[in-house]
Amino acid sequence: MRGSSLSDRSVAKSLEPFIVCVWNGANRREMPPEVRDVWDTADLGRMVKNNIVLFVLDRSGKFVDWFQPFPGKNPSSLGFSQRRQAEYIRSQVERVKKRLPMPRQVEAKTELTLPELEKGKKGVRVMLSLDCPRMSSYKAPVVEVVETTTKEAKALAYSVEPRTIDAASLGRWLKQIYPPAIMVRSGQVTSVSGALRLTAAGKKGKRRYATLTGDVRMTMDDGQGTTFTGTLEAVVTYAAGSDAMEGFRGVYVGMYPKPDRHRRRPQEIGLRAVIESLPK
């Protein structure tokens, strides 16, 4: 879960016996049948205080209980504290677990690692950090991996003469750069535009290099079509005698103006992402 309290280590530990599924949508009509059945069985009526509901089912898929991630209408009921939000969710999970037969758990040795592509695949890893002091949802980093297709490879092919490429040709990579916890519609990037300049930057040893720079404009599916911009600066590596991209390493810096119905001005969320090719 991007940036939510569900990504807190204590909450993740408490959820280990469960299979966690997620659905995002605006109303009951958009719900797939399986989700609608759970919603109707719970019969929440006016008991829902905000737009996030967590349902607990038993191993046979039968509805058991439900709760919300904070006791009030919004995170202010827990002081916008990431620690308190995580502890509240954990306490609710533990409360419901007492009503369910829990499978025997075996402690496993775990090691924190970054996500990788399947063996033999090529692509990029996008590592996103956010700057927004008011919201704990944005304190957790986001890491995604995306496989490279012929579209990105063709766009980044080596060129002796400077040329301009459409940022949309790298859209599958750039669409990973957006703030978590956008809770309206899909909350994801729908379009990418901008002009990026690819310029040969000399060679060293058995490799040639090019720089890629320019501004990127993206639009969110958040009910308001919010747009945000940022700057991409990258170095592309090529093997000597080949025009095919061998490596990519870049930095994106931008700002997302998240609409805030409680304030006249939007919240400004700083975005900084590192994009690096895989395998290294």
Judgement on whether residues 41 and 161 belong to the same structural domain of the protein: no
Six-digit token string for 210: 């090019």
- Tell me how many domains the chain contains: 2
Q: Would residue 232 count as lying in a domain?
A: yes
For residue 166, the model assigns a pLDDT of: 97
Q: Band of the pLDDT at 221, cuts 50, 70, 90?
A: confident
**pLDDT of 222:** 80
Between the alpha carbon of residue 115 and those of residues 58, 119, 120, 126, 279, the distances in Å are 30, 12, 15, 10, 11
Coil/strand/helix, residue 229: strand
User: How confident is the model at residue 253, as a pLDDT?
Assistant: 97
Angle at 261 between CA 144 and CA 78, to 5 degrees: 70
- Say yes or no: 86 and 127 in one domain: no
140 and 36 part of one domain = no
Lookup: tokens for 6? 């569900």
CB 212 within 8 A of CB 238: no
Percent of the chain with pLDDT over 90: 52
Confidence of residue 51 (pLDDT cuts 50, 70, 90): confident
Question: Do residue 196 and residue 147 come from a single domain?
Answer: yes
Contact 214, 233 (CB under 8 A): no
pLDDT surpassing 80 at residue 4: no
Does some domain include residue 77? yes
Task: Using pLDDT thresholds of 50, 70 and 90, give the confidence band for residue 261.
Answer: low
Specify the higher pLDDT residue, 51 or 172: 172
pLDDT at position 135, please?
67
- Domain identity same for 79 and 183: no
Query: What mean pLDDT do residues 106-125 have?
Result: 83
- Domain boundary among the residues 97, 114, 139 is at 97
For 175-185, what is each residue's pLDDT tens digit?
A: 999 987 666 66
Same domain, 131 and 248: yes
d(CA 151, CA 49): 45
For residues 235-259, average pLDDT: 94
Helix (H) or strand (E) holding 200: strand 195-204
Instruction: Flag the least confident range among 45-59, 64-78, 104-118, 206-220.
Output: 104-118
> In 3-state terms, what secondary structure has residue 246?
strand
Considering the domain boundaries, does residue 176 fall inside one?
A: yes
Which amino acid does the sequence have at 64? Answer: V
pTM exceeds 0.95 for this model: no
Which domain covers residue 253, as residue numbers?
A: 123-278
Question: Distance between CA 130 and CA 249 in Å, rounded?
Answer: 19
Angle at 245 between CA 244 and CA 246, to 5 degrees: 110
| 238 and 183 co-located in one domain | yes
Which residue, of 28, 63, 97, is where some domain finishes? 97
Same domain, 130 and 85: no
Residue 3 pLDDT exceeds 60: no
